[in-house]
Amino acid sequence: MRFPNPTRVNTNRRMVSPRRNGLFSSLALLAIVLTASPLAAQFPQTGPIPGQPNPEFNQPLDPFAPGPGPAAASPIVLDVRIVGNERISANQMLARLKTRPDRAFDPDLLQADTQELMLMKEFRNVRPFVHERPEGVIVTFEVSEKPRIERVNYIGNRGITTRVLSRESGIKEGDPLDLYGLRLAKERLEGFYRSKGYAQTEVEIVEGTEPDARVVTFLISEDVVRRVADVEFIGNEFVSGARLESFIKSKPGMFAPVYRNKYTEEVLTADRDRLTSYYRQFGFFRAVVDTEVVPNEDHSLMSVRFVIYEGPRYRVRNIAVAGNEVFRSEDLYSLVELQEGENFDGSKMERDIAAIKDLYGGNGYIQATVDGQTLFLEEPGWVDLVFQISEGEQYRVGRINVNISGEYGVTRQSAVLARLDLRPGDIIDIRKIRDSERRLGASGLFVADPSMGQMPTIELRPSDPDFADHASTAFRDALPDGNRDPRLDGFRGQSPDGVLLDIEVFGATPARPRRWYER
C-alpha cells in the first residue's frame, strides 16, 4: 500500500518538507545534549579536578565540530592523583595502577585501574576523573573509605565462648566494615553451631549493617544441644546390628547416659553413606539405607533408627584380565582369590589387585596399574569381573645414592648399601624396595619414629640422560671391566632392555648424646 507524500516536489525547484526540517533540528538538539552530558565521556566522570577551578570546562562545545579520527594520537598523562583517602596511603594505591605519568592515556587502563582499586576491601566507592589540558590529561581517583570496626559484640551465647565465636566468624576489631563479609560471618557462625549439636540456632546481625557503622553486634538464639539417646537397626539380615553400630558415629557415647554423642545432620548423612558402602562392598549393590529420627519433648535427645533394604547379593559369573602382554592370563588367574560362582567380595578384589600389581612391580614394571571393573548383566544378581591392566615400561636400577643428614661419621654408606637387595643393573623389584625400607628402619642407623613421620625412605628417580647413554653403550659393547666408565661399576652384563632409575636413600642419623666432658 502506498502513502501519499504531503509535500510536492517539482523538477525546477526542490522543496524541503517540514518533516525533514524538523528531523534535522531534532538531531542537532540531540547532539548538543549528548555532547554536554556526562555520557559523552568515556568514563563515569569527566570534569574538573575536585577542589580546583577549571574555567575551560564550562566553555560551550560545538556539536558539529569534527571529532578526533581513528589515527589521532592519545594524550599524555601529566599526573595521577588520589583524593579522599585517610588511612590508606596514596603510594600504596598508586603502586597498583597501570595509568601512570608520562604514558599515553588509555581509557581501558583507566577502567581496569578503577576496578583494581574497588577490589581493595578498604574502599566503598572509587570514582575516576579526567581533566583535559592542552599538553595532556590529569587523572584523579576519588576514593571513599569504609569505616573501621571498633567493637564486635556477641549476645546470647551460653554454650560457646565469645573467644571461640570470634575465631569462627573471622570479624575482628580494626577490619574495614564489609556488609558481604558480615553475611558470610553469620553463615559461618550458624554452621559452626550446627556442627556442635545446636541444630536450630539462629544468628542475627542487629548492629553493623549501616554504611557508617563502627560497632558490629551478633544476636545469637541458641538452641539446646541435641544428643543421641539410642540407635536402632531395622531390616538388616546379613550382619548384626552391633557390627553395623561399630561403623557409625551417631550413637550414644561410651559413658551413656552420663555422656552422649552430639547429634548433627552432617554426621548422620555420613553414617548413612558409610553403611551403604559397607553393604556394596559385599555385593549388595542395590542396598539402600534410610534414617528416621524421633526427638523427645524438648528435642534434647534423639532416637536414631536406620532402616535398611539389603536387596539381593550379587555373585561373580566370569573373571577376565585385559591388557596383559608380559604375563600370560593363566599366570594372573592363579593369583586371583575371588573365584567364579562366589559371592562378590570387595575386600578379596582389592587383595587380588594388590597381588597382580606386586607381580608386575617385582619384575620392573613399577608403574603398572590394575583396575578392577564390575560389569552388571541383564540377568539380575550376577556380575562379571574384569581386571584391566596397563603394564608400562620395565625399569632397571641405575645409580644408588645415599643421602644422610646429621652427623654420620660412624654411619658409613657401605652399611646402608649392605641392607639393600638391589644393585646397579638389576631389574627393580618394588617388593625388595619395601623390604629394604623396613630393614633400614629397624637397623638403628637412622631416626625411626613413625608417629612423627621420621623414617628412612627410598625413592626412585629417572637417571640423567648422560648416565643412561653410558649404561646402554656398556650393555651393547660388553666392554671389559677395566675399560668401562667408573660410574657403571656394579653392572654385571645384564640386557640393555629397560629404562634406568636411580635409587635415592634418605635418612637422618640419631643425635649423638653428649659425653660427660662435653656438658
User: What pLDDT does 512 receive?
Assistant: 53
CA–CA gap between residue 106 and residue 77 (Å, rounded): 9
The radius of gyration of the chain's CA atoms, rounded to the nearest angstrom, is: 40
User: What pLDDT does 58 receive?
Assistant: 38
Which of 206-210, 346-350, 420-424, 468-472 is predicted least confidently? 468-472
Confidence of residue 451 (pLDDT cuts 50, 70, 90): confident
Determine which helix (DSSP H) or strand (DSSP E) holds 278, and give its type and residue range: helix 265-281
Identify the sign of the CA torsion 273, 275, 277, 283: negative
Grid cell 549439636 — which residue? 197
Average pLDDT, the chain: 79
User: What pLDDT does 92 receive?
Assistant: 85
Give me the helices (H) in 37-106, please: 90-94
Confidence of residue 237 (pLDDT cuts 50, 70, 90): very high
CA–CA gap between residue 340 and residue 378 (Å, rounded): 17
Residue in 293, 354, 365 with CA at minimum distance from that of residue 324? 365
User: What pLDDT does 17 receive?
Assistant: 44
Count of CB atoms situated within 10 Å of the CB of 89: 10
pLDDT tens for each residue of 136-160: 999 999 988 888 888 999 999 988 8
* DSSP β-bridge partners for residue 81: 140
Grid cell 540531540 — which residue? 30
CA–CA gap between residue 420 and residue 399 (Å, rounded): 13
Count of CB atoms situated within 10 Å of the CB of 175: 16
Identify the sign of the CA torsion 76, 81, 82, 84: negative
Determine which helix (DSSP H) or strand (DSSP E) holds 154, and give its type and residue range: strand 151-155
Q: Is the confidence at residue 53, as pLDDT, over 50?
A: no
Confidence of residue 314 (pLDDT cuts 50, 70, 90): very high
User: What pLDDT does 62 receive?
Assistant: 39
Count of CB atoms situated within 10 Å of the CB of 391: 17
CB 391 within 8 A of CB 325: yes
Domains of the chain in start order, with CATH, are 42-57+74-145 (3.10.20.310), 151-221 (3.10.20.310), 227-309 (3.10.20.310), 316-390 (3.10.20.310), 395-508 (no CATH)
Confidence of residue 253 (pLDDT cuts 50, 70, 90): confident
Q: Is the confidence at residue 336, as pLDDT, over 80?
A: yes
User: What pLDDT does 163 receive?
Assistant: 92
CB under 8 Å, gap of 24 or more: what pairs does 57-61 form? 61/32, 61/35, 61/36
Q: Is the confidence at residue 29, as pLDDT, over 50?
A: no
Q: How do beta strands 457-462 and 499-508 pair?
A: antiparallel
CB 394 within 8 A of CB 498: yes
More confident residue, 163 or 480: 163
Q: Is the confidence at residue 488, as pLDDT, over 60?
A: no
